[in-house]
């Protein structure tokens, strides 16, 4: 029988190998957090609200607060009126945003496009929220006409908008400015807008024109994934919300000696250090360069695929290149997700033109 040490080393080899190949998931792999390895000796736990002191001291909440502040600024959150925490991933941030919305507007209806990530339907179900799915345009963006018609019918009820800034398959971005003008058209003043910027939340701020997706554009909360564009060995995310929206659900808790507004009790204390380390290392300028690299490689990918006759396309300023479903062997080799006859390449920061050349060569051969 194999010892568990042998099993472990085989496992690590396999993980290393499988990390080398994938192109189909929005997960950066060009990170180096070896300086943080020592932390896995300690039971870090960011119990409770990052902004309120606790009797428990084995935590990284100081760094968590810095991370939230960095993103609050990047997302143009209103001064002195923001709050947030480091989540276990984009989904938890979305759940939190929807939860806030439901608490504020229990009678509200949630509207979201059909290209929205499947976890949102799960969240809405979990939260027991009334919801209506809106058609998407061919590029994956919400169909504003369908949204207008639907809002018109339900203008007597509060509207909860779940907007995507970067859909899963095509990285389409719903325009919050356009959505707000529809809400205004019907004088729906009772509304809440959550922005799911899982992939693009750390890219959008550096794009020109800047997509309409953040607090300046009208969002009440924004969720970003930490393990996507930034990169993390453990899934994590950043949730930032308008503080006046959060104060509603604050709840006084004697046990941990703090107001606990987060969803779970015990919280990961390692990933806030990961994100803190990344923003210290990159800074806003580093993130900008990282985003530009992705855009350049995405454009290169598009051209390369088109040059071999593949009907590839990408949304404006997207780092995702969409193409028709590829042969099974290619799907497996590059770990490509496929839905409704399309697949996609994610030009994450670690992807270089050499990887694309290899992929295009493989695809060309497989198609012959």
Give me the residue label for tokens 């997706």. Answer: 213
Here's the x/- map for a second copy, 138-167, by CB under 8 A: it reads as ------------------------------
Instruction: Report the nearest approach of a second copy to the CB of residue 78 (Å).
Output: 26
- Work out whether the CA dihedral 162, 166, 172, 175 comes out positive or negative: positive
Interaction of residue 113 with a second copy, rule CB under 8 A: no
Q: Compute the 3-state secondary structure of the chain and give helix, strand, coil in percent, each to the nearest 5.
A: 45, 15, 40
The yes or no reply on residue 168 touching a second copy (CB under 8 A) is yes
- Rounded to the nearest whole angstrom, what is the least distance from the CB of residue 153 to a second copy in the complex? 25
Residues in 15-54 that interact with a second copy by CB under 8 A? 15-16, 18-19, 22, 24-25, 27-29, 31-45
What's the distance, CA 10 to chain centroid? Answer: 32
Query: CA nearest 249: which of 126, 53, 105, 107?
Result: 105
Nearer to a second copy, 204 or 225 (CB): 225
Minimum CB separation of residue 258 from a second copy in Å reads: 11
> Any contact of residue 332 with a second copy (CB under 8 A)?
yes
Is 183 in contact with 159 (CB distance < 8 Å)? yes
Shortest Cβ distance from residue 191 to a second copy (Å)? 21
CB closer to a second copy, 79 vs 285: 285
Q: Using CB atoms within 10 A of its CB, is residue 85 exposed (0-12), middle (13-18) or buried (19+)? A: buried
- Nearer to a second copy by Cβ, of 82 and 276: the residue is 276
Whole-number Å distance between alpha carbons of 89 and 237? 4
Ranges within 185-204 binding a second copy (CB under 8 A): none
The answer to whether 256 contacts a second copy (rule: CB under 8 A) is yes
CB of 147 to a second copy, least distance (A): 23
Per rule CB under 8 A, is residue 257 in the interface with a second copy? yes
Nearest-approach distance from CB 92 to a second copy, in angstroms: 6
Does position 2 interact with a second copy (CB under 8 A)? The reply is: no
Close Cβ partners of 14 (under 8 Å, ≥ 6 residues apart): none
CB of 184 to a second copy, least distance (A): 30
The residue written with tokens 């396309």 in the block is 313
Q: Pull the structure tokens for residue 104.
A: 């504020």
Which runs of consecutive H residues, i.e. helices, occur in 116-263? 118-126, 144-153, 176-185, 243-246
What is the footprint of a second copy within residues 265-324 (CB under 8 A)? 265-270, 273, 276-277, 280-281
The piece of 14-22, 199-207, 316-324, 357-365 that touches a second copy (CB under 8 A) is 14-22
Strands 252-253, 258-259: pairing kind: antiparallel
């Amino acid at each position: 029988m194999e010892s568990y040490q042998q099993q472990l080393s085989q496992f690590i080899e396999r993980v290393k190998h499988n990390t080398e190949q994938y192109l189909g998931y929005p997960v950066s792999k060009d990170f180096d957090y070896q300086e943080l390895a020592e932390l896995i000796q300690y039971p870090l736990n960011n119990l409770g609200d990052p902004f309120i002191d606790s009797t428990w001291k084995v935590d990284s909440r100081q760094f968590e607060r810095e991370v939230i502040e960095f993103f609050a600024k990047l997302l143009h959150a209103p001064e002195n009126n923001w709050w947030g925490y480091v989540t276990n991933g984009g989904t938890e941030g979305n759940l939190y945003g929807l939860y806030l919305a439901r608490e504020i507007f229990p009678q509200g209806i949630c509207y979201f496009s059909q290209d929205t990530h499947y976890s949102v339907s799960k969240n809405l179900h979990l939260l027991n929220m009334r919801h209506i799915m809106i058609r998407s345009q061919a590029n994956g963006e919400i169909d504003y006409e369908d949204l207008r018609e639907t809002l018109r019918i339900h203008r007597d009820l509060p509207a909860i908008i779940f907007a995507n800034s970067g859909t899963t398959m095509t990285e389409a971005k719903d325009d919050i400015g356009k959505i707000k003008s529809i809400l205004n058209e019907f004088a729906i003043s009772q509304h809440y807008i959550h922005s799911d910027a899982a992939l693009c939340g750390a890219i959008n701020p550096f794009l020109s024109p800047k997509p309409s997706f953040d607090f300046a554009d009208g969002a009440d909360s924004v969720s970003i994934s930490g393990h996507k564009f930034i990169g993390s060995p453990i899934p994590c995310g950043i949730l930032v919300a308008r503080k006046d929206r959060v104060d509603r659900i604050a709840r006084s808790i004697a046990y941990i000696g703090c107001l606990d507004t987060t969803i779970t009790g015990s919280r990961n204390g390692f990933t806030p250090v990961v994100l803190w380390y990344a923003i210290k290392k990159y800074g806003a300028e580093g993130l900008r360069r990282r985003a530009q690299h992705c855009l350049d490689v995405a454009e290169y990918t598009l051209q390369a695929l088109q040059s071999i006759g593949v009907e590839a396309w990408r949304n404006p300023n997207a780092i995702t290149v969409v193409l028709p479903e590829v042969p099974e062997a290619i799907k497996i080799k590059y770990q490509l997700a496929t839905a409704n006859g399309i697949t996609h390449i994610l030009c994450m920061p670690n992807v270089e033109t050499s990887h694309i050349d290899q992929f295009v060569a493989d695809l060309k051969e497989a198609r012959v």
